[in-house]
Amino acid sequence: MNGVRLMLRSPDFARLWFAGLVSKTGDWLLLIAMPIFLLHLTGSGVATATVLVIELLVRFFFGQFAGLLADAVDRWLVLRVGPVLQGLFLLPLLAVHSVDQIWVVMVVAAVEAALGVLMSVTLGAMLPDVVDEDDLVAANGMFGVAGDVARLAGAMAGGLALSWGGISGVVVADAVSFALAWLIFVVRAVPSGEDRSTRVREGLSVRAWREGVLQVREDRRLWGAVVVTSIVTFAQGISQLLLIVFVLDLLHGDAADVGVLRGVVGIGTLIGGFLLSAVGGWLAPHRLAGLSLVAVGVLNLVAWNGPAFTTAVPVYAVVLGLSGLPGVGAFVGVISVLQAGMAKEDRGKVFGLLVSANSGAQGVGLLLGGLLIDVLSPVLLLNFQAVLIVLSGVAAIIWLRDRTAAGAGREAEPASSAGS
């Protein structure tokens, strides 16, 4: 179903989409503005890098607890309380005026990252409750569009707010985004008045965490999704620093060219999200994920080996921009597989595990890329990154396939033939 028609048919999906767009815009606003603010305040890149590391570590360590919380507590309640907490924990930034207060920024960054993970996991776990399984690809395509629009809008808003009013301007702008998200969710009544105290105690226990991990280990599609996305984020971690070296040293470009090549990927994913929201059911989710990853890897191979033929930056803008189109397909395919393959009460645990695993893999990729950047050829490392993505696509096609459904289809064929 077309994503726009889906929003018109399902008010709850429209509510999730608009609130997710506004909330993620606030997340990106803070993510862009805070490192710039720290750089201006301290004059040191170390403090800026420390904030980014803190946010990555929080995602790694808090992800699984956020998943448990999303399963144990009423999810609509989480989505209503979350924006309020995000807004309140911004306020300490108003007191930061000197270098000796940067610890406040670090604490706020950690808390906001944790709340952002909780909101993201809860939104992912909620989606199958408000749309049919056949509409998951289109719905996730719309969420991909929201994420890309939020990234672009948040980046612009973060820079404008910081230049307009300093850190106070950032706090005001971000608080407005969270207030809007709260207003969207607050009109939705709590589904039931059931006593959840026992469920919360049991859901936040070590036993519940172990059950979630065991469920993933026993389900090929679930552990396959975690492994595939971890390989991809590991590869992305490797390429983050190497892309800068690639542009500056091999294409003989400048910082502006680096920004252009990063930006065109986002434009590609935005267009891809619109396309998926319009023709969501064309491919089965596992094929969508696998073929998309293979396409991304192949396009990356073309780009990384292109300097042997041309160093014209516009050529690479086209190739990397095209890689954004299947890039969003890979995300949508994997997420749709997870949402369709999990029971309602367990989705949060699996999404939380996914966040932790992907954050850890990305951190290892960043570290490895940084360590090897002066040892090995950048082209060799980038080719390694691209091959990993191609292999992850092949793995997705094999591991994420619903063999139960396929087996049922094969059994139905002889029966229908006999009936005819």
What is the mean pLDDT of each successive set of 10 residues along the chain, which is 420 residues long?
71 87 88 83 77 87 88 86 93 90 91 92 88 85 85 82 86 91 72 49 59 74 91 92 89 85 85 79 86 96 95 95 91 87 79 90 89 88 96 94 55 43
Whether 368 and 237 have beta carbons less than 8 Å apart is answered as: yes
- What domains can be seen in the chain, in order of their start residue? 1-188+197-204 (1.20.1250.20), 218-403 (1.20.1250.20)
Give the C-alpha distances (Å, rounded to integers) separating 126 from 324, 366, 385: 26, 31, 33
pLDDT of residue 37: 86
Nearest to 138 by CA among 328, 320, 267: 328
d(CA 109, CA 54): 7
d(CA 155, CA 172): 15
Is 377 strand, coil or helix? Answer: coil
User: What is the spatial distance between Cα 336 and Cα 331, in angstroms, rounded to a whole number?
Assistant: 9
User: Whole-model pTM?
Assistant: 0.80
Which H or E run contains 400? none
> To which H or E segment does residue 10 belong?
none
Q: What is the DSSP string of 91-108?
A: GGGGG--SGGGHHHHHHH
DSSP string, 143-162: HHHHHHHHHHHHHHHHHHHH
Q: What is the pLDDT at residue 131?
A: 86
Taking the C-alpha atoms of 114, 153, 385 and 294 in order, what is their torsion angle to the nearest 10 degrees? 110
pLDDT value of residue 195: 47
Cα 79 to Cα 13, 85, 131, 181, 202: the distances in Å are 13, 10, 18, 9, 21
Contact call for residues 153 and 27 (beta carbons, < 8 A): no
pLDDT at position 205 is 56
